[in-house]
Amino acid sequence: MSREIAINLVYIVAAILFIFGLKMLGRQASARRGNTISAIGMLLAVVATLLDHHVVNYTWITVGLVVGTAIGVFCARVVKMTSMPEMVALLNGFGGLASLLVGWAEYGKIRAYGWERYLSEFAGNPVFTSVVIALTVLIGGITFTGSMYAFAKLAEWLSGKPRLFRGQQLVNFALCGLGLAGSVVFALSGDPAVAQLAFFVVLAVALILGWTLVMPIGGGDMPVVISLLNSLSGLAACAAGFVIANNVLVVAGCLVGTSGVILTVIMCKAMNRSLVSVLSSGFGSGVVAASAASGDVIQGELKPLSPEDAFAVLEAARQVVFIPGYGMAVSQAQHVVRELAEKLEENGAEVRFAIHPVAGRMPGHMNVLLAEANVPYEQLVEMDAINPMMPTMDVAIVIGANDVVNPAAARDKSSPIYGMPIIRAHEARTVICLKRGKGAGFSGIENHLFLMPNSRMLYGDAKASLQAVIAEFKSLNAA
């Protein structure tokens, strides 16, 4: 058996492991094993690739391996759970950059060798190779700068609000056209000087377009854009796989690309929006103007509650629902949330956890945190299932959630989040809201829920507030 056939057989095994691994990631119980299986597949793919006779220089590969491993180990140990979304955005971005560099390097090789020698050594078709190089650079560039912008928003280096300028959609449209036209010229022009110019036009357009496409997206639409960038990073890798004729890269890129598309569709459904409207609308902009125009003045007052009073309300409750949000992740309150849930159950209450699909800062964020705290999976209830039960809930405990429980989304037509499905916390008999102060949610808009007659504010860091309530339960038991 030739080395090439052996390598391709290993690639097939790796691809099968990726597919099984991905499937297992779909269920909480098997997710950890799924991750390990996919990682084994990746290890096999990397080892097989290193045996490829096309590899001519191991020095730089070793340098990359050592530096990459060191950064990976450092990040795995140092990056906090709350910073994972930013980390994911960075990883997407660097995936796009890596693909872009592969395309660029291959183009450099073609220029150095000339088509005749290149084709005699690497086979292929000049138009096909040029098209996939242009696609790799275009998609990789958009993914890189788009992800960097998303990273800056998630890390709060930039405001989460959309940034708009006059004619923005027209500019994006023109840039898309220029990028595609440049790709066609690059692929079809026989003149090396024209092809070179077209290549750098495509490169520049890609880098600018990533930035300008993500700029107008803000607030609640960020989950959609993050899953879309994740998908694009896969498609860029897939195109890079075609550039260097590497089957496992094509398969792995396709898997990331398609699973990212599926996630993007799920996120769009969760936000009750279409992808086109997400990419074009500038969600979250003009909040003040919209509210002012509709005359929608938020009335009511914030009514603080002490941990002792919260305990009194909870002690009498029989149906309790926890609604976690980003603030739970910030305060790392998931373990004390579980402890309080256990105390409530010991006290005879039935406890549920309402999960909004875009709560937190990354898809599945709340599920991951609650699973880490060993909250029983059966107690997690999806938004659509919990909403009809909300009027029967004695108490809804909102833990650092804001946008995902904002009633304006359901009834204020002038609100920029109008139409986004929410968990209807306000329908519970009593709502206890845990937050530190008057901070707005990610989309930067006011929340009427906190002012409603049945809402009470338990101010402070969520973890400390919950610990104070648990202490009350403990002193009751001790008495």
CA 262 to chain centre: 13
- Considering beta carbons, is residue 11 or 322 the nearer one to ligand NAP? 322
Our finding on whether 419 is near ligand NAP (CB under 6 A) is no
Reply yes or no on whether 403 is catalytic. Answer: yes
Helices within 26-57 (DSSP H only): 28-50
Q: Are 323 and 428 in contact (CB under 8 A)?
A: no
Considering only 106-114, 126-134, 372-380, 431-439, which stretch makes contact with ligand NAP by CB under 6 A?
A: 431-439
- Considering beta carbons, is residue 155 or 440 the nearer one to ligand NAP? 440
By CB under 6 A, name the one of 183, 281, 402, 415 that touches ligand NAP: 402
Our finding on whether 21 is near ligand NAP (CB under 6 A) is no
Report the C-alpha gap between 406 and 298 in whole angstroms: 12
By CB under 6 A, name the one of 327, 416, 421, 444 that touches ligand NAP: 327
**Mapping DSSP to helix (H, G, I), strand (E, B) and coil, where does residue 192 land?**
helix
Our finding on whether 386 is near ligand NAP (CB under 6 A) is no
By CB under 6 A, name the one of 251, 358, 375, 458 that touches ligand NAP: 358
Helices within 332-450 (DSSP H only): 334-346, 365-372, 383-386, 408-411
Our finding on whether 353 is near ligand NAP (CB under 6 A) is no
**Mapping DSSP to helix (H, G, I), strand (E, B) and coil, where does residue 241 land?**
helix
Our finding on whether 363 is near ligand NAP (CB under 6 A) is yes
Closest by CA position to 232, among listed 206, 261, 205, 208: 261
- Considering beta carbons, is residue 136 or 147 the nearer one to ligand NAP? 147
Closest by CA position to 61, among listed 53, 50, 51: 50
Our finding on whether 461 is near ligand NAP (CB under 6 A) is yes
Our finding on whether 423 is near ligand NAP (CB under 6 A) is no
Report the C-alpha gap between 320 and 304 in whole angstroms: 20
Our finding on whether 89 is near ligand NAP (CB under 6 A) is no
**Mapping DSSP to helix (H, G, I), strand (E, B) and coil, where does residue 355 land?**
strand
- Considering beta carbons, is residue 338 or 361 the nearer one to ligand NAP? 361
By CB under 6 A, name the one of 249, 359, 371, 428 that touches ligand NAP: 359
Angle at 45 between CA 39 and CA 50, to 5 degrees: 130
Residues 6+ apart with CB under 8 A from 134: 103, 182, 183, 186, 187, 199, 202
Considering only 14-22, 58-66, 339-347, 401-409, which stretch makes contact with ligand NAP by CB under 6 A?
A: 401-409
- Considering beta carbons, is residue 186 or 442 the nearer one to ligand NAP? 442
**H helix count then E strand count, the chain:** 19, 6
Report the C-alpha gap between 364 and 292 in whole angstroms: 35
Site for ligand NAP in 189-218 (CB under 6 A): none
Which residue type, as a one-letter code, is found at position 1? M
By CB under 6 A, name the one of 219, 257, 260, 282 that touches ligand NAP: 219
Considering only 10-18, 195-203, 314-322, 362-370, which stretch makes contact with ligand NAP by CB under 6 A?
A: 362-370
Considering only 9-17, 21-29, 161-169, 357-365, which stretch makes contact with ligand NAP by CB under 6 A?
A: 357-365
Which strands form 430-435's sheet, in the order they lie side by side? 380-382, 350-355, 319-324, 395-399, 430-435, 455-459
Our finding on whether 441 is near ligand NAP (CB under 6 A) is yes
The DSSP letter of residue 304 is: B
Indicate the Cα dihedral angle 81, 86, 91, 92, nearest 10°: 130
The distance of closest approach from Cβ of residue 327 to ligand NAP in the complex, given in angstroms and rounded to an integer, is: 3
- Considering beta carbons, is residue 99 or 447 the nearer one to ligand NAP? 447
Our finding on whether 270 is near ligand NAP (CB under 6 A) is no
Angle at 135 between CA 210 and CA 102, to 5 degrees: 90
Angle at 245 between CA 241 and CA 119, to 5 degrees: 135
Our finding on whether 273 is near ligand NAP (CB under 6 A) is no
Which of 221, 394, 403, 461 is labelled catalytic? 403
- Considering beta carbons, is residue 93 or 400 the nearer one to ligand NAP? 400
The distance of closest approach from Cβ of residue 341 to ligand NAP in the complex, given in angstroms and rounded to an integer, is: 17
Our finding on whether 462 is near ligand NAP (CB under 6 A) is yes
CA atoms within 13 A on the CB side of 441: 34
Our finding on whether 421 is near ligand NAP (CB under 6 A) is no
- The contacts found for 373-379 with CB under 8 angstroms, 24 or more apart, are 373/334, 373/335, 373/337, 373/338, 374/338, 375/334, 375/337, 375/338, 375/341, 377/28, 377/29, 379/341, 379/351, 379/352, 379/353
Our finding on whether 307 is near ligand NAP (CB under 6 A) is no
- Considering beta carbons, is residue 185 or 404 the nearer one to ligand NAP? 404
Gap between the terminal Cα atoms of the chain:
77
Considering only 64-72, 178-186, 243-251, 438-446, which stretch makes contact with ligand NAP by CB under 6 A?
A: 438-446
Considering only 94-102, 258-266, 354-362, 374-382, which stretch makes contact with ligand NAP by CB under 6 A?
A: 354-362
Which residue type, as a one-letter code, is found at position 292? A
Residues that bind ligand NAP (CB under 6 A): 85, 219-220, 222-223, 226, 325-327, 330-331, 358-363, 365, 400-404, 434-443, 461-462
Give catalytic residues, as residue numbers.
403
